[in-house]
Amino acid sequence: MQRFLAALRFRRDQPGTAVQLCCFFAAMDGITGWLASIATIAGGLTVALNLGSRVTGWGFAVLAFGSACWSLNAWQAETSSLLIANLAMAAINGFGVWRWLGRRTRIEQGSAAAMAESAAAPVPSLVSAARLLEAPARLPHGASFGTVIDLMLHCQRQDLAYAVLSFDGIGGVGEEFRAIPAERIELRTDGLHCRLDEEALRTLPPIDPTAWPVAAGTVRNRPAGAPL
């Protein structure tokens, strides 16, 4: 508002131009405010969902745009502290864009190239562990179920012990966990394939999300009465 009044005083000899200038700033203030709000909500939700490096990178890009809009609003309102804070946030979100759309994308391209070459070469086929995580398990007959959240490995034998699968629940609330034995798992380039169907997976012993078992099919000891 102070900027609008200053423009009016500065241009009082040209009232038509001053009014147009104030209307322009007022319109811009409203537009950038709405754009900043929408971009912040959409970008924050996209990053929080963690739908993959490319989607997360674009989420940071949307957040960077929102920070730029907030910076413009702060400049128009002549609020130095908010301007500095949002310029810093724009720089941080820009770093997020580089990290997820730049660095992480190059890493995924490298692993994908190794997988493709190993499939055509006379060597054992390779699969990226990162591609298996946060992806559904493939069940017999092509169905998908749950989300693979981790792979536990044997240090001495240098092989897979079990995979941890989560299912049900909304946004991590109310979800259940199961440990799938390595002998029931087949690793392929398109994901983790499980030889058990959904019914069999649900009958596996539930595991405590904060205390995973030392081997699949076992349940860690808990104090009597402790919730699973």
CATH number for the domain harbouring residue 139: 2.30.30.240
What's phi and psi for 132, nearest 5 deg? -80, -35
Both 96 and 155 in a single domain? no
Q: Return the residue matching tokens 């950038």.
A: 32
Both 27 and 100 in a single domain? yes
Domain assignment present for 208: no
Both 94 and 148 in a single domain? no
Domain assignment present for 214: no
Choose the final residue of a domain: 72, 107, 142.
Answer: 107
Both 20 and 94 in a single domain? yes
Residue 73 structural domain? 2-107
Both 95 and 137 in a single domain? no
pLDDT tens for the chain, 228 residues: list them. 445 444 444 444 455 554 444 444 444 557 888 888 899 999 999 998 888 888 999 999 999 999 999 998 888 888 889 899 999 999 999 999 999 988 888 898 899 899 999 888 898 889 998 889 989 999 998 889 999 999 999 999 889 999 999 998 887 788 999 999 999 999 988 889 999 999 999 999 999 988 898 887 664 544 434 443
The CA-atom distances, in angstroms, between 213 and each of 1, 24, 90, 152 are: 63, 64, 43, 10
Domain assignment present for 173: yes
Least Cα distance to 188 among 154, 139, 152 occurs for 139
Residues 6+ apart with CB under 8 A from 59: 42, 43, 44, 45, 46, 47
Distance of alpha carbon 42 from alpha carbon 47, whole angstroms: 9
SS3 string of 147-215?
EEEEEEEECCCCEEEEEEEEECCECCECCEEEEEEHHHEEEECCEEEECCCHHHHHCCCECECCECCCC
Q: How far is CA 9 from the centre of its chain?
A: 50
Q: Residue 185: CA atoms inside 13 Å, Cβ hemisphere, count? A: 20
Sign of CA dihedral 190, 195, 200, 205: negative
Total domain count, the chain: 2
Both 21 and 85 in a single domain? yes
**β-strands 191-194, 185-188 pairing:** antiparallel
Report pLDDT for 29. Answer: 57
Choose the final residue of a domain: 76, 107, 138.
Answer: 107
Measured at the CA of 67, the angle between CA 5 and CA 25, to 5 degrees, comes to 20
Both 142 and 81 in a single domain? no
0.85 exceeded by pTM: no
Q: Residue 130: CA atoms inside 13 Å, Cβ hemisphere, count? A: 12
Domain assignment present for 186: yes
Name the residue type at position 159.
Answer: D
Name the residue type at position 193.
Answer: H
Both 167 and 75 in a single domain? no
Which residues, in sequence order, are bridge partners of residue 180?
163
